[in-house]
Structure 1
């Protein structure tokens, strides 16, 4: 930890964030909204720079399925072309007059061989046709083994089904004001022992040079036993806070980012899940408060959580506590 001064007060900075201090070497934000690092790596080959396993586990479902179908189509197209080059007369059972019909039947024979279905009405004859069919069958077995592993990995991968509010807010709190961020689970999961950590990154001038400085923001509650409803992370802006004295214009005129790290225990996976996100100062709304997200049901038998109200807030009347100290 190092110490800097702000308005005559000494503030401890966090030096264990993993981010560099040289502000001129940083572009944009530190952490993207989806929690990924805002980093582009160069100086290494494209193939070498990508973990294909991690990529296939993390891409959206529609992209994953699209890759599977495109791969399946391309492989069968290639093998159908090879069968046509060898000669479809070496595939017993094909009855076709035009090249299109011949290629189509070769394509579907390839699909049957690749998937090891083998209906039997078409069979290879001759060395080369039989050799290609045997290679395709082996390639199909290996491909489906990989695809099955990826499907299982995506299905069983522990994931924190938690959403963050789109904005952080500055709202009245007790006799002053506080920075507030709201989170909520959105799946039918049971999360316990949730723990949050909030770090503020700001560009400050030291000896005429802009540098990055990071501060741990103390929370009213940084741990809760169960995350079943919404949880509002509250950082009281006291004299010990690096945000003390910040007005609405200060958030507009300064560059800063609020980074949230959250972890919880998922009973279904029997494992700890983690998620992170961030808010730039431009995404901090000053002088509002979050709207209640949950209420009792009409028959008073259950609590209804309105996930669509996660980022809902209402304007408040500015009071003395919301002006710059």
Structure 2
């Protein structure tokens, strides 16, 4: 800051903030309104030209409703297939299946026998007779064990996968700061009752300049907290050292700015590191406002109201 002041006294402009290399390059997201990081923390990048078949990754990352629906569909289709094979071999190879029954009823019996064999339940009402039916039943049982092992691994991987534990405020604020100053602020909190420690924050400002993407790190008032039981308001003072110092409200819009945020920490409860990305577009900035309190003292404890993380109050200009 002293160096900047000295340069100003000498009639020279202060040097621009050093750019950082986030691995994104300066040729991306040059279309106005395009963001680099999606609201869910993923990168706004779609890969084309080379298809990578990765069923395990897709099954681990897809939503639970889709995963359960796909599992049920696979379960039904597999047993329809094997039930059809039992039907081709002949239902006379299955005991206690009357051959006088209609075709659809014998088909149902073959399907449910496949289900019992696939899941190794085997109630004993139907049993295979003959080499063909017994060989197919042995293969279906082996296939069922393999499918059960795969499903167990997938479900464990889905539960063990790091979750998005950090809750972000819906907007970032340009708030009053110190006497006559202002700052950029946003708020985060742990959405679960788990122990997060050694939480670090990093904020980078990016904008378009002559159709080129520029990046500048923002110095934070505090970039680390050892313990994270409550909310944390992350503050960047907009002073002479800030790349935002001479920016007006219109500049944020005209330069199509975006705040890129990285949160790192360690979850003691699950013994795993966490890494979360987020961003705020210029349209998600609120000017001249302050966050309202979101935790209160109640008798011998403190209540943290997560539903108030985005509550703010406008200030008089």
Fold-level similarity (TM above 0.5): yes
- Matching residue of 2:113: 109
Measured on the aligned residues, the alpha-carbon RMSD in Å equals 1.9
- Matching residue of 2:61: 58
Structure 2 residue 45 is the aligned partner of structure 1 residue 36: no
Q: Which deviates more, 302-311 or 238-247? A: 238-247
From 137, 142, 155, the counterpart of 2:141: 137
- Matching residue of 2:213: 212
Give the whole-Å Cα distance in 2 for the aligned partners of 1:24 and 1:39. 10
Give the whole-Å Cα distance in 1 for the aligned partners of 2:36 and 2:148. 39
Moved beyond 3 Å, runs of 4+:
23-27
Is contact 1:202–1:256 with CA below 8 Å preserved after alignment? Answer: yes
- Matching residue of 1:201: 206
Cα offset, 1:16, TM superposition: 1.9
Is contact 1:251–1:284 with CA below 8 Å preserved after alignment? Answer: no
Structure 2 residue 147 is the aligned partner of structure 1 residue 147: no
Give the whole-Å Cα distance in 2 for the aligned partners of 1:16 and 1:23. 13
Cα offset, 1:94, TM superposition: 2.0
Q: Which deviates more, 275-284 or 126-135? A: 126-135
Write the deviation string for residues 73-123 of structure 1: whole angstroms up to 9, x where unpaired.
Answer: 111111112222222222112247222222222111111111111112111
From 126, 132, 154, the counterpart of 1:128: 132
Structure 2 residue 100 is the aligned partner of structure 1 residue 94: no
Q: Counterpart of 2:15 in 1: which secondary structure?
A: strand
Write the deviation string for residues 221-242 of structure 1: whole angstroms up to 9, x where unpaired.
Answer: 0000111111111111111111
CA, structure 1 residues 292+24, in 2 after alignment: closer, same or farther (shift >3 Å)? closer
Cα offset, 1:166, TM superposition: 1.5
Cα offset, 1:140, TM superposition: 0.9
CA, structure 1 residues 214+223, in 2 after alignment: closer, same or farther (shift >3 Å)? same
Q: Which deviates more, 97-106 or 190-199? A: 97-106
Is contact 2:195–2:269 with CA below 8 Å preserved after alignment? Answer: yes
- Matching residue of 1:222: 223
Give the whole-Å Cα distance in 2 for the aligned partners of 1:89 and 1:316. 83
Structure 2 residue 189 is the aligned partner of structure 1 residue 184: yes
Give the whole-Å Cα distance in 2 for the aligned partners of 1:201 and 1:69. 45
Write the deviation string for residues 206-225 of structure 1: whole angstroms up to 9, x where unpaired.
Answer: xxxx2111111111000001
Is contact 1:178–1:236 with CA below 8 Å preserved after alignment? Answer: yes
Structure 1 residues without counterparts, runs of 5 or longer: 1-6, 319-325
CA, structure 1 residues 134+270, in 2 after alignment: closer, same or farther (shift >3 Å)? same
Structure 2 residues without counterparts, runs of 5 or longer: 1-11
Give the whole-Å Cα distance in 2 for the aligned partners of 1:278 and 1:91. 62
- Matching residue of 1:68: 71
Cα offset, 1:271, TM superposition: 2.4
Is contact 1:13–1:213 with CA below 8 Å preserved after alignment? Answer: no
Alignment of 1:148-187 (within 5 A): 148-175=152-179, 176-187=181-192
Give the whole-Å Cα distance in 2 for the aligned partners of 1:25 and 1:130. 64
Q: Counterpart of 1:84 in 2: which secondary structure?
A: helix
Cα offset, 1:24, TM superposition: 7.0
Q: Which deviates more, 24-33 or 106-115? A: 24-33
- Tell me the number of residue pairs that the alignment of Structure 1 and Structure 2 aligns: 303
Is contact 1:159–1:274 with CA below 8 Å preserved after alignment? Answer: no
Give the whole-Å Cα distance in 2 for the aligned partners of 1:74 and 1:141. 17
Give the whole-Å Cα distance in 1 for the aligned partners of 2:19 and 2:182. 23
